[in-house]
Structure 1
Amino acid sequence: MLKTMTIGLMAISTVSFAGGLQEPVKPINPDSSNFYLQKGITEKDAGRLQVSLKHFEKAISFDAGNKAVLAQLAPVYYDLRKYQQSKDTYKQLVDLGDASAANYQQLVNLSFNLKQPDDVILYAGKLKSVDPSARVSFYVGKVHYEQENYGEAIKYLTAAGKEDPANAEAPYMIARSYADMLNYKQCIPFFQKAIELDASKNNWMYELGLIYYAIHEDKQALKYILMAGEKGYKKDNEYLENLGIAYLNSGNLEEGVKILGEILKKRPSDLNVLNMVAEAYYYKGKYQQAMDYWDQVLVYDMQNASAVYMIGMCYQKKGDKDKGQQLCDKAIQMDPSLAALKQKKSMPGM
């Protein structure tokens, strides 16, 4: 009898569906998410990241809170250079309770690469709270530097140098912070430390050369500009002009004029370079050569009163006082401000 009743119930159930009753909505099958998760892992292990991504995204569509899927999805997004999606996925993991140091480190890195400074500082603090030994000072220091907050930048970059003494970027960024504040002498030891840690950075050497030039330490300026060139810094016109100036300022007239002469072959009407060569010859007492270059200035700018004045000075230095004085007076008529130079017996711009 019991057996008959069971059969009867089954029959009633069958008749109910056959009678047109609506089939209830099937619940989400958690096995579907796991099925695509495993397919994604297989493709990932085979190196087919794009295919694995499709499977992981399919898996997460079945179960948005599946941390195992999110943990696979986040690094795949990263490897495929989908950085914002990667960051969003790591954030999901943290929000779901997986607030591990590894996940916070990824959020710091991604926020830094995506140039999201507020998030760098936010996640660096959270990382430090779960792992006090985490090295986050460099990221925070660089963010402060980019925001021109140099005091905080120096503070965190100094800490970064202690966290990782081999990180050449830390002293370099400190050097740049001081340089941007025009504190050139303070920045020099940090440039030197950075170059000591990474001798391949020719642009750092060039920058240091220009810093020395700015504070009139000419031999050091020449040393580092030459070093930059030897290490592969591009020897364009700007580099060669600064190198030529460094030679002139160091007292090597012949080498300086030679380099600037090469620039003039490419830029014959560069009045700045013509004036520099003329002045260099003048200071060395080579007045005829100085006059020749100031004459070239007048070829391109006949109203250049300063050039006329200096040609007059050259004549006077050569012993032709009258002619020299006439030219100086003519220059003063062209530009009355030069009258002050006559009394000081100095050069324009001095």
Structure 2
Amino acid sequence: MKIGLPLLFMVCIFNNATAQKADIDKEKLLGYYETQRYADAAQYLQNIYPENTQDIKALTQMAYCNMMAGKLQEAEKNYLKVNAIEPSNLPVLFSLAHINSRRKNAAKAKSYLQQIIQLDSLNFNAYKQLAVFEDKPETKLSYLKKANTLNPADPDAAYDLAMLYRDLRQYQQGYDVLKTAIVADPENFTLQQSQLSLANQLGKYQEVVETGEKLMKVNADPNVMNDMGQAYFYLKDYQKCISFYSMLEALDIQNEGTLYYMALSYRELKEYDKAALYAQKTIDEAVSDHISVYYAALAGIYEAKNQFPDALVAYKRGLTFTTSNVIYYRLGILYDLNLKQPKNAVSYYTMYLKNKPDPEKETEQIKYAQSRIAALTNPKEVR
């Protein structure tokens, strides 16, 4: 019988914690774990052990079962008992931070993570998670820099740090962070695509073109097209610039910026009628700072009418204006449930998670995206 790692871990705890207790039905408890009936397992253990038990392994086992069953208050109660007995237990502190994150108690979650750092100043995961809860850019930056220093190959920490550097207009630092992470994971599409905009800001136009051409063979992503069009413009290859932005226009996902570059490119090619046409289109497109929100609303209407291709176009057009957690998440669902394109679904679920959704306001969306990524990338492991 094949047992997954979390289940195997709990079985080991169970065997150690109950070796001397003949009144526990090990087969029954194992059956609960195998069928993921964690609430029943927790209740069974609570019936066996006295309420005032000081058995750390038993308390940890009950806490884990309650957490997996979604009974977060009971899980926290058990873990707090363990923490009182053994306050330097890092896995318990991480579990308490996780529980409070899920319960939207950000202050408590941060407190437990800070305790971990006090005990282990080189704990990568603690710094990485602390950055999620931090609102102050300078403090968030310090946490992400520390995490990246401890593990520069981690793609999530590298992405988050690079995007923060981008927001702070520290483009070279962001570029260097991504460059190191890409060396460790050269096929990571998200890291390479994110580096294109930084490379453009640094004037690395030939690199944008070369990398973009490779990425286009993997996924004809509108953001890649957008960056390539800009790079070709500054390389003075105006026809190539027009060709890429024309592709976006053909998909009806052009924006003010792409139309502006097309106008300038036609002007440089002395095709003045087309230059004037696209200059006017640029003006017409510059309607509202909230246009991506409007496209998301339009896409939602198309979804409600089962017009999924139209919804796809509307969502992607919204993305050409700005990154949007709402659109990334909805595109993941659209590709997943309606268009049945798992690779694209995973890509957009991943972009959603990497774009730093609010862990307090978007708890359920984060959990759902994580679960669907796991299911779509490891279909054979889904029970």
With the shorter chain as reference, the TM-score category is 0.5 to 0.7
Question: Do structure 1's residue 235 and structure 2's residue 221 form an aligned pair?
Answer: yes
Equivalent-residue separation in structure 2 for 1:176 and 1:268 (angstroms): 23
Gap change, CA 1:70 and 1:49, over 3 Å in 2: farther
> For 1:165 and 1:274, how far apart are their aligned partners in 2?
38
> Paired residues, what number?
261
Structure 2 unaligned spans of 5+: 1-19, 287-383
SS of the residue 1:78 aligns to = helix
What is the match of residue 178 of structure 1? 165
232, 241, 248: which one aligns with 1:247:
232
Larger radius of gyration: 1
**Residue in structure 2 matching 1:152, options 139, 144, 151:** 139
Matched residue SS, 1:278: helix
Alpha carbons of structure 1 residues 299 and 148: separation in structure 2 relative to 1, 3 Å: closer
Deviations 1:270-304 (A, max 9, x none): 67544432311322xx32x23234246669989x9
State the TM-score, normalized to the length of structure 1. 0.59
Task: Kindly provide the CA deviation profile for residues 139-192 of structure 1, in whole angstroms up to 9, marking residues without a partner as x.
Answer: 235424642334334434444345445434344333233222222223221121
Change (3 A) 1:259 1:197: same
1:38-49 alignment to 2 at 5 Å?
A: 38-39=24-25, 41-46=26-31, 47-49=34-36
Provide, for residues 91-150 of structure 1, a one-character-per-residue CA deviation record: whole Å limited to 9, x for no partner.
Answer: 222124575344234334544566644334432344455x54x75344235424642334
Q: In the alignment, which residue of structure 1 is the partner of 2:45? A: 56
Partner of 2:24, secondary structure, is: helix
| 1:49-198 aligned within 5 A | 49-50=36-37, 51-59=40-48, 63-65=51-53, 67=55, 69-83=58-72, 85-97=74-86, 99-111=88-100, 116-127=105-116, 132=120, 135-144=122-131, 146-164=133-151, 166-198=153-185
Deviations along 1:19-73, one digit per CA (max 9) or x if unpaired, are xxxxxxxxxxxxxxx989824x43332324423233124346x524453542221
Q: RMSD of aligned C-alpha atoms?
A: 3.9
Unpaired runs of at least 5, structure 1: 1-33, 305-350
Highest relative contact order (Cα 8 Å, sep 6+), 1 or 2? Answer: 2
Distance 1:198 1:117 in 2: 32
Residue 205 of structure 2, aligned match among 213, 218, 223:
218
1:201 aligns with 2:188: yes
- Counterpart Cα distance in 1 of 2:184 and 2:85: 42
3-state SS of 2:42 partner: helix
1:261 and 2:250 are equivalent in the alignment = no
Shift in CA distance, 143/227, structure 1 to aligned 2, threshold 3 Å: farther
2: CA distance, partners of 1:169 / 1:268:
28
Give the conservation status (yes or no) of the 8 Å contact 2:263–2:277.
Answer: no
Are positions 1:290 and 2:272 aligned together? yes
Q: What CA distance in whole angstroms lies between the structure 1 residues aligned with 2:273 and 2:198?
A: 32
Aligned residue for 1:38, secondary structure, equals coil
TM-score, with normalisation over the residues of structure 2? 0.55
State the 1:211 CA deviation.
Answer: 1.7
Q: Using a 3 Å threshold, how does the CA distance of structure 1 residues 154 and 261 change in structure 2: closer, same or farther? A: closer
Per-residue deviation at 1:75? 1.8
User: Aligned partners of 2:99, 2:71: CA distance in 1, in Å?
Assistant: 10
